[in-house]
Amino acid sequence: MTQRLTVPKTYKLFIGGAFPRSESGRTFEVRAPKGAFLANAAQASRKDARDAVGAAVGAVKTWSGATAYNRGQVLYRVAEVLEGRRGQFIDEIIAQTGLSQSTAAAEVDEAIDRWVWYAGWCDKFAQVTGNANPVAGPYFNLSVPEPTGVVAIIAPQDTALVGLVSAVAPALVAGNTVVVVASEAFPLSAISLAEVLATSDVPGGVVNILTGSPAEIAPWLAGHPDVHALDLVGAGGIDWVDLQVKAAETLTRVLPPEQGPDAATPSLQRISAFTEVKTVWHTKSLI
């Protein structure tokens, strides 16, 4: 009887709800801390970044048009599937980072908890960040938060999962769509997260995940006219000032890099950073 061969996993990109290889055909090796080969991951190119932005643009209407309650349900479903695949994520983090079982488990649990926390804000943040403004006259004056549009993100580069979740989830709450560049050193968990998203009722194109070099991909995202906000939370290791300059040419909102263990800590501010405030006037009834 012949010995059974294992089926190695192919880690591709996640664009528009599908899993394409890089259009360039390039891959890069992902290795364990001691040098053991783990997998080949797709190395995204400029064309892949453009395709991802196009997919995100196409999904804005569907995602932002969903009710806040429905977005919360969908995001909570993501957390449910993450919980069901908890063991897989723990094993991947251990393989990529060399962390202990308990530390890797703590990272996965924190990532799930943060996703649940943001899911709960979907139908609440508008009441907290919006306002009824006092005006002199027989009018209602309301400030209402609305999504910015397409958000490009450079995920934290020093964690496999929790940093990625912490950067992506808040952008989704208000109805934005996302193009995120995952950790270059630990990309495998990002594609496993993409598999979770693809089976959790998240519409195709709402989240697009690129693996490869942030230094190579980020300039194309920063200067893209269809990117409306740029989160550089994990871009501290590259020339992020130049990215700010590129983004300014298209009036793109920019969040600067964050360092240390508190980077992308869950907060209401990370949700409101990706919203625009619309002011509505309405006459009061005189009857």
DSSP string of 113-162, one letter each residue: HHHHHHHHHTTTHHHHH-EEE--SSSEEEEEEEEE-SEEEEE--SS-SSH
Q: How far apart are CA 112 and CA 118, in angstroms?
A: 10
Predicted pLDDT at 286: 60
Q: Do 27 and 40 form a contact (C-beta atoms < 8 A)?
A: yes
Give the contacts of 175 (CB within 8 A, at least 6 positions apart): 60, 63, 64, 65, 66, 71, 146, 147
Q: At what angle do helices 68-84 and 188-198 cross, to 10 degrees?
A: 130
Predicted pLDDT at 4: 87
The list of the chain residues with pLDDT below 70 reads 1, 286-287
Q: 6 to each of 3, 9, 81, 188, how far by Cα in Å?
A: 10, 9, 24, 18
Predicted pLDDT at 153: 98
Predicted pLDDT at 5: 83
Predicted pLDDT at 216: 97
Query: CA angle, 273 as apex, 272 and 275 as ends, to 5°?
Result: 60
